[in-house]
Amino acid sequence: MSTLLDNLKWRYATKKFDATKKISAADLNTLKEAVRLAASSYGLQPYKVIIVENPEIREKLKAAAYGQTQITDASQLFIFANDLNAGPESVAAYIKNISETRGVPAEALGGFADMMNGVISNLSQEAKNIWTAKQTYIALGTLLAAAAELKIDATPMEGFNPAAFNEILGFDKLGLNASVIATVGYRHDEDDTQHYKKVRKSHEELFITI
């Protein structure tokens, strides 16, 4: 049985997907659940995850991603969109969720709510957008690891035009911004990069223990 490290060594940023191979509904649900369980600041999850399967929409997004074929050939396209309006409403919804999930009176969570609201309200709009965008990368990392565990290929991508994505998907009206994307599916036999040795810094180069 392969281990987590074996699976992480196996994965790579797939350059060419086999468009004939699709992820099963069960595996897709596992990926979605993994992303749902991803860590985030306070557990607030200030983002949405849009899964694009519609071929017409993906063709438009491909043009906004400099023609990269992964956009249309992969089984699914995950778009992590950070919340541009994170604030009191988001906090209130989260507190309600905590209260219902843990059976705790909402009033008992007032201090936690005040703390979150205080931190967020002190951020400039630019700083808040950077903060919420950073959260999407944590979810992205969880998706990549979960996909590797299932032997599903995934490619994280920053090479796209966020403004164009926002316009195509109507994110501007939803207070969202396309932060980072990932294509998931199965590698094509003709993708030569799958045979490249993985190149990473050594432990000595990467880690500093103090």
Three-class DSSP labels, 54-67: CHHHHHHHHHCCCC
Name the CATH superfamily housing domain 1-193: NADH Oxidase (3.40.109.10)
pLDDT truncated to tens, each residue of the chain (210 aa)?
789 999 999 999 999 999 999 999 999 999 999 999 999 999 999 999 999 999 999 999 999 999 999 999 999 999 999 999 999 999 999 999 999 999 999 999 999 999 999 999 999 999 999 999 999 999 999 999 999 999 999 999 999 999 999 999 999 999 999 999 999 999 999 999 999 999 999 999 999 999
Could you give the 3-state DSSP secondary structure of residue 25?
helix
What are the CA-CA distances from residue 150 to residues 10, 15, 25 (Å)?
11, 19, 13
User: What pLDDT is stored for residue 32 in this prediction?
Assistant: 98
User: What pLDDT is stored for residue 25 in this prediction?
Assistant: 98
User: What pLDDT is stored for residue 2 in this prediction?
Assistant: 81
- Count CA within 13 A, CB hemisphere, residue 113: 18
Name the residue ranges covered by the structural domains of the chain.
1-193
What is the phi/psi pair of residue 202, to 5°? -75, 165
User: What pLDDT is stored for residue 55 in this prediction?
Assistant: 98
pLDDT in tens, 58-98: 999 999 999 999 999 999 999 999 999 999 999 999 999 99
Could you give the 3-state DSSP secondary structure of residue 40?
coil
